[in-house]
């Protein structure tokens, strides 16, 4: 691909600003993984079904295999790498997945965590049926989901007790306000 | 004590923070990427391959056809259950003259990026002459059908015939004889991470391959043989792995092609399979047709059973050889005491993706057939199906029990078990005795409900051996090197618990190292529910030897006999009074002072497998309008001898059940008459989501520890999967006992149920 076909993009990922020169056809999942080195986001099907590549873009969960990198120009993206505190303190969802054995091979986990994170923002106090629906766009081949439902249930409890997540996850709060338009 | 406790996994902190390193996550300097052009035809001659345009594309580094591979290259050999007669049906890494399934590798392309490599793939022009595809086992073995492997001479590649007693004689004595045809559809493990490899030639000319798993050391030797280089010059490194389930980690064409390309190019070559490719390239499994003849008496006691089985093995014999057909026979009898048995299995070649194992290989298929037959017999005799089971079960006093059939080179001998007890436990848990009443009440409200059971025996702990090396480091940390592989099952945590128990240290102080052929000297890998049983036993004994070493020094220092000492909570204690005598760390320091090496190796060998057993039960409600099945309650009781970590066992069983549910109701690798896979994406190959999966109630039992290993463990990897289909099918038939339906084929489609309900209840006259 010649240089002239490359497009410059700038995006904020987990609160940090990045620029990249990418082909217009390059998927956001590939931009994140190959250009920015953020390999926590996994690619499981590349046709938008499995949900492993789910990231939060401008406040909404998206399948990063169905979004082109150029579409994420000026966007705010949050990936699994941005869930924990910079000092290493786990997000309540991460704590809960660990506690409840909500993962086995861990490949679907980043996408599952991002979907669950957005879901709990929309519905901080869900019942099990609602949790099942909330994560139904993410396939897991190992766990049979039961422990994931347990984990999201526990995370909801942890989050309601502990306002820390709301206070500090400024990324998530900011991206809720919507995508900035580049003038 | 950490054995038996549900501690959190040591694997998880990396994986939940995005710090896992799967093979696709590794990026090396100067790395390029490979793409494989695959056959779009099920059966065709290759007339011409034009690679010129692709080669001229900038940044394309290599375009290779089968003719570019070494002339003396051998095909990929069988790993398990090898058989000389089948070597003529093995697969070469790239097709030359002929393709035999959609997805067969034809051309390898390497370019600076995946995007460019795919552009080049579009420019490859292959001229095919299509041939009549064979998509069905019965067509395949007709005399006028073309033969896929002429050197074998028939598509009926191999016959396996096993007998116990005389079925013909017993059948003559039986007042009832029935025949049934049953079918288990093609489906497979479909891990969420597709396969991938990264091969690089290091400065010292050694080849390093990232991405092998499951049987790392075995595949290491295979690659050395195929490349004709000394295995000392190859290093395999296992990365994180996104699910195994049987298909992943076998030696595939790409496992040769990618290292070969790296050697030829002198640059790192990466290949990551895409999902659509995975569906046609990675092993399929399960597809079998069974024709059963069974004789029984009025009490439901089964006296004789003959099963003629047609296994659709696909276009080539892959690494599993005849593992699945052999296990189907050996494990078919399950928990029952049959007087006479006969199995005739045809291993048949067709123009479909080659096959291998998938979680519970042979047992998922055989358990479906057997447990359906039991319910069909019960219905015929108007008996309670759980009573028919009870009357045929092997009694505890018959243990150890040989079922008369061989599998994987050994006669199947169940080591221990109380099968009637586990049936009772399940009947009570599901309130079976009150169910008829509940069903009638539901019917009065217009609801159709049913309850079904399915029993099974699993196998685990396949030998011949496993290796472990433990070493105490500074500060009392322990490294445990194992020959097992980590495919997500929690093997690191289980081994850490075992070592921790022996050595009286926290399990979090144990680092488990696996899958690096430069670091772990040998291993047989993780498959066949062997990890905890065989690898765990090796870790147990290696740690025990290390403990003995420590206690000898402690005994000398403390002037006490070593046999009176133990290690608990990092303290040396006196066994009789449990009094703390000194710190473990002091003994470690003393050993270092004396130059005692705190390192032990152990190879645990075992000739016989262990046999965990259990029961599945499903209560279903059926939507009479749509035929949709709702699982109201699902229950599994599984006696695994001993659970090292009940939380992980629970996870294995629920996760296994999800895969069994997929096989029962949703998943099918379906081909059309042209040999095209028509369920080749996640749009139409339906993996259960959180909406389809019910809550599963699990009962882990430890009533029958295995006498064959020091831990008493029997393994837990596959029992969640194998009995789902018959439990659900039996529940549906129980629910629809007044309707004209029999379930003998998988997956169970709602339209079949709906049609039966629309036809209306069968009156007694019609029967």
Determine, yes or no, domain membership for B179.
no
Last residue of a domain, one of B540, B573, B605: B605
pLDDT digits (tens, 9 = 90+) for B689-699: 999 999 999 99
Counting as low any pLDDT under 50, the low residues of chain A are 163-183
Residue with token string 């600076």: B112
Mean pLDDT confidence for B332-361: 98
Residues 6+ apart with CB under 8 A from B737: B379, B450
Nearest to B725 by CA among B670, B667, B649: B667
Q: Are residues B395 and B304 in the same domain?
A: yes
Instruction: Name which of B17, B115, B242 is nearest A23 (Cβ-Cβ).
Output: B115
| Closest chain B residue to A38, measured at CA | B18
Give the end-to-end CA distance of chain B in Å, rounded to a whole number. 61
Q: Residue A158: in which H helix or E strand, if any?
A: helix A146-161
Residues A44, B489: C-beta atoms closer than 8 Å: no
Predicted confidence at residue A3, as pLDDT, reads: 57
Q: Are residues B98 and B211 in the same domain?
A: yes
B266 with B335, same domain: the answer is no
Q: Is the pLDDT of residue B165 over 50?
A: yes
Residues B204, B69, single domain; the answer is: yes
Going A154 to A156 to A161 to A163, the CA torsion angle's sign is: positive
**Eight-state DSSP code of residue B120:** H
- Percent of chain B exceeding pLDDT 70 equals 99
Cα B404 from Cα B486, distance rounded (Å): 34
Contacts of residue A101 in chain B, CB cutoff 8 Å? Answer: 8-9, 647-648, 650-651
Domain assignment present for residue B2? The answer is no
Of A50, A99, A107, the CB nearest to B22: A107
Which CATH superfamily is A92-168 part of? [2Fe-2S]-binding domain (1.10.150.120)
Question: Which residues pair with residue B388 across a beta bridge?
Answer: none
Residue B111 forms part of a structural domain: yes
Domain-located, residue B147: no
| Final residue of a structural domain among B568, B589, B605 | B605
Q: Does A66 touch chain B (CB under 8 A)?
A: no
Alpha-carbon torsion (B210, B215, B220, B226), positive or negative: negative
Element (H, E) at B196: strand B196-201
Stretch(es) of chain A classified as CATH 3.10.20.30 = 3-83+171-175
User: Residue A97: closest CA among chain B residues belongs to which residue?
Assistant: B16
Beta-strand (E) ranges in B14-58? 32-38, 44-50
Chosen for mutation from B192, B276, B643, B680 (greatest number of chain A CBs closer than 10 Å) is: B192
Residue in chain A closest to B645 (alpha carbons) equals A101
- Domain with B732 in it: 288-460+609-759
Mean pLDDT of B138-158: 97
Using CB atoms, pick whichever of A94, A105, A132 lies closest to residue B691.
A132
B262 and B321 inside one domain: no
CA pair distance B632, B448, nearest whole angstrom: 12
pLDDT tens for residues B576-610? 999 999 999 999 999 999 999 999 999 999 999 99
- Token pair, residue B674, equals 């042209």
Q: How far is CA B67 from the centre of its chain?
A: 35
Judged by CB atoms closer than 8 Å, whether chains meet at A33 and B24 is answered as yes
The mean pLDDT value of chain B amounts to 97
Interface contact A39-B24, CB threshold 8 A:
yes
Q: How many CA atoms lie within 13 A of B687 on its CB side?
A: 26
CATH 3.10.20.30 is right for the domain spanning A3-83+171-175: yes
Contact call for A45 and B682, based on CB within 8 A: yes
pLDDT digits (tens, 9 = 90+) for B626-683: 999 999 999 999 999 999 999 999 999 999 999 999 999 999 999 999 999 999 999 9
User: Does residue B374 contact residue B338 with C-beta atoms inside 8 Å?
Assistant: no
Q: Does B613 lie in the same domain as B553? A: no
For residues B646 and B716, state if they share a domain. yes
Q: pLDDT for B292-337, tens place per residue?
A: 999 999 999 999 999 999 999 999 999 999 999 999 999 999 999 9
Task: Residue A116: list chain B partners with CB under 8 A.
Answer: none
- The reported pLDDT for the residue numbered A2 is 52
Give domain status of residue B557, yes or no: yes
Same domain, B589 and B659: no
* DSSP state string for A55-99: EEETTEEEETTSSBGGGGTT-EEE-GGGTS-TTSPPPHHHHHHHH
Burial of residue B266, with CB atoms counted within 10 A of its CB: 0-12 exposed, 13-18 middle, 19 or more buried = exposed
Closest among B124, B136, B637 to B427, alpha carbons compared: B637
Tell me whether residues A42 and B657 touch, CB distance under 8 A.
no
User: Is the peptide bond preceding residue A164 cis, with omega within 30 degrees of 0?
Assistant: no
Query: Beta strand pairing status for B234-237 and B207-210?
Result: parallel
Element of type H or E holding A128 = helix A128-134
CB contact under 8 A, B689 and A52: no
A104 vs B651, B695, B696: nearest CB:
B651
Is there a single domain that holds both residue B491 and residue B420?
no
- pLDDT (0 to 100) of residue A86: 87
Split at pLDDT 50, 70, 90, the class of B81 is confident
Residues B209-268 have pLDDT tens digits of 999 999 999 999 999 999 999 999 999 999 999 999 999 999 999 999 999 999 999 999
Q: Which residue of A has its CA nearest to B490?
A: A104
Q: Is A146 an interface residue toward B (CB < 8 Å)?
A: yes
pLDDT at B764 over 80: no
What 8-state DSSP symbol labels residue B739?
S
pLDDT value for B408? 81
User: Both B642 and B747 in a single domain?
Assistant: yes
Within 10 A of B603 (CB to CB), how many other CB atoms are there? Answer: 17
Burial class of residue B194 in the structure, from the number of CB atoms within 10 Å of its CB (0-12 exposed, 13-18 middle, 19+ buried) = buried
Cβ of residue A47 closer than 8 Å to a chain B Cβ = yes
Contacts of B10 in chain A (CB under 8 A): none
Mean pLDDT over B278-301 rounds to: 98
- Which chain A residue has the Cα nearest residue B652? A143
Please check whether residues B306 and B393 belong to one and the same domain: yes
CATH number of the domain bearing residue B85: 3.90.1170.50
- Asked if residue B154 belongs to a domain, the reply is no
pLDDT digits (tens, 9 = 90+) for B366-388: 999 999 999 999 999 999 999 99
- Name the residue with tokens 């009443």: B437
Output the six-digit token pair for A63: 């399948």
Q: Is A44 on the interface with B (CB under 8 A)?
A: yes
SS3 content of chain B, % helix, strand, coil (to 5): 30, 25, 40
Residues B706 and B744 in one domain: yes
Q: Which residue of B has its CA nearest to A26?
A: B115
pLDDT of residue B423: 98
- Does some domain include residue B524? yes
Residue A93: name the closest of A164, A135, A145, A156 by CA.
A156
Count of structural domains within chain B: 3
- 3-state SS track over B67-100: HHCCCCCCCCCCCCCCCHHHHHHECCCCCCCEEC
> Which of A27, A145, A148 should one mutate to test binding to chain B, selecting the residue with the greatest count of B CBs within 10 A?
A145
**Domain-located, residue B148:** no
């Amino acid at each position: 691909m010649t240089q002239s076909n490359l497009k410059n993009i700038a995006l904020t990922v987990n609160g940090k600003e990045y620029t990249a020169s990418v082909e217009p056809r390059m998927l956001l999942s590939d931009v994140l993984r190959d250009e920015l080195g953020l390999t926590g986001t996994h690619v499981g099907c590349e046709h938008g079904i499995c949900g492993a590549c789910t990231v939060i873009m401008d406040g909404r969960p998206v399948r990063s295999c169905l979004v082109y990198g150029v579409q994420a120009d000026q966007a705010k993206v949050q990936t699994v790498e941005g869930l924990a505190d910079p000092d290493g303190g786990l997000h309540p969802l991460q704590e809960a997945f660990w506690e409840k054995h909500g993962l086995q091979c861990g490949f679907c986990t980043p996408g599952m965590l991002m979907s669950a994170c957005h879901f709990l923002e929309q519905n901080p106090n869900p019942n099990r049926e609602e949790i099942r629906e909330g994560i139904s766009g993410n396939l897991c081949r190992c766990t049979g989901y039961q422990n994931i439902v347990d984990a999201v249930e526990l995370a909801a409890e942890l989050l309601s007790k502990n306002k820390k997540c709301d206070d500090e996850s400024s990324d998530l709060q900011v991206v809720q306000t919507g995508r900035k338009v580049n003038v | 004590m950490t054995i038996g406790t549900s501690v959190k996994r040591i694997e998880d902190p990396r994986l939940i923070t995005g710090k896992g390193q799967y093979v696709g996550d590794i990026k090396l300097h100067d790395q390029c990427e490979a793409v494989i052009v695959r056959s779009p035809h099920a059966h065709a001659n290759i007339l011409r391959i034009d690679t010129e345009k692709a080669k001229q594309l900038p940044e394309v580094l290599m375009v290779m056809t089968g003719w570019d591979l070494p002339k003396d290259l051998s095909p990929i050999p069988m790993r398990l259950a090898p058989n000389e007669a089948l070597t003529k049906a093995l697969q070469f890494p790239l097709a030359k003259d002929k393709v035999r399934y959609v997805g067969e590798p034809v051309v390898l392309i390497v370019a600076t990026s995946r995007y460019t490599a795919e552009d080049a793939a579009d420019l490859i022009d292959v001229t095919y002459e299509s041939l009549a595809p064979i998509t069905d086992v019965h067509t395949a073995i007709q005399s006028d059908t073309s033969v896929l492997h002429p050197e074998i001479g028939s598509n009926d590649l191999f016959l396996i015939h096993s007998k116990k007693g005389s079925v013909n004689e017993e059948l003559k004595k039986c007042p009832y004889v029935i025949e049934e045809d049953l079918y288990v559809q093609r489906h497979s493990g479909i891990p969420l991470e597709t396969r991938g490899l990264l091969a690089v030639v290091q400065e010292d000319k050694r080849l390093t391959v990232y991405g092998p798993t499951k049987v790392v050391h075995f595949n290491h030797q295979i690659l050395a043989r195929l490349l004709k280089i000394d295995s000392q010059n190859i290093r395999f490194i296992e990365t994180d792995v996104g699910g195994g389930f049987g298909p992943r980690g076998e030696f595939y064409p790409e496992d040769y092609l990618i290292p070969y390309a790296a050697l030829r190019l002198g640059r790192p070559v990466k290949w990551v399979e895409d999902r659509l490719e995975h569906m046609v390239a990675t092993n399929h499994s399960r597809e079998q047709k069974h024709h059963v003849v069974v004789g029984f008496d009025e009490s439901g006691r089964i006296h004789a059973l003959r099963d003629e089985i047609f296994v659709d093995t696909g276009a080539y014999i892959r690494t599993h050889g005849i593992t699945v057909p052999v296990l189907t026979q050996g494990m078919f009898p399950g928990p029952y005491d049959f007087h006479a048995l006969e199995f005739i299995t045809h291993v048949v070649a067709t123009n479909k993706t080659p096959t291998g194992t998938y979680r519970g290989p042979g047992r998922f298929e055989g358990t479906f057939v057997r447990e359906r037959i039991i319910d069909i017999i019960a219905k015929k005799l108007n008996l309670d199906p759980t009573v028919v089971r009870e009357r045929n079960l092997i009694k505890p006093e018959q243990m150890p029990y040989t079922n008369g059939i061989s599998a994987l080179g050994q006669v199947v001998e169940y080591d221990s078990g109380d099968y009637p007890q586990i049936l009772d436990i399940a009947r009570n848990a599901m309130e079976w005795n009150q169910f008829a009443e509940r069903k009638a009440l539901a019917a009065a409200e217009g609801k159709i409900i049913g309850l079904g059971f399915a029993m099974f025996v699993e196998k685990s702990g396949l030998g011949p051996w496993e290796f472990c090396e433990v070493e105490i480091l500074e500060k009392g940390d322990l490294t445990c090197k194992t020959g097992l592989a980590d495919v997500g099952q929690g093997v690191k945590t289980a081994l850490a618990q075992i070592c921790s128990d022996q050595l009286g240290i926290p399990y979090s102080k144990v680092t488990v190292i696996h899958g690096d052929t430069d670091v772990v000297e040998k291993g047989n890998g993780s498959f066949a529910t062997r990890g905890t049983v065989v690898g765990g036993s090796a870790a147990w004994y290696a740690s025990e030897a290390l403990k003995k070493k420590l206690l000898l020094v402690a005994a000398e220092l403390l002037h006490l006999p070593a046999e009176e000492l133990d290690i608990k909570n990092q303290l040396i204690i006196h066994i009789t009074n449990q009094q703390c005598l000194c710190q473990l760390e002091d003994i470690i320091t003393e050993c270092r002072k004396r130059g005692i090496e705190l390192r032990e190796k152990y190879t645990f060998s075992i000739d016989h497998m262990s046999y965990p057993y259990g029961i599945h039960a499903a209560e279903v409600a059926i939507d009479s309008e749509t035929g949709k099945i709702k699982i109201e309650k699902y229950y599994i009781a599984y006696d695994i001898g001993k659970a090292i970590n009940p939380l992980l066992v629970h996870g294995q069983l629920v996760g296994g059940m999800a895969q069994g549910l997929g096989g029962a109701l949703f998943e099918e690798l379906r081909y059309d008459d042209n040999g095209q896979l028509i369920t080749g994406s996640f749009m139409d190959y339906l993996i259960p989501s959180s909406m389809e999966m019910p809550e599963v109630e699990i009962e882990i039992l430890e009533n029958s520890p295995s006498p064959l290993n020091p831990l008493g463990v029997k393994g837990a990897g596959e029992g969640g999967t194998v009995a789902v289909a018959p439990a659900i099918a039996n529940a549906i038939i129980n629910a629809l006992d007044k309707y004209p339906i029999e379930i003998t084929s998988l997956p169970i489609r709602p339209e079949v149920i709906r049609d039966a309900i629309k036809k209306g209840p069968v009156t007694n006259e019609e029967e």
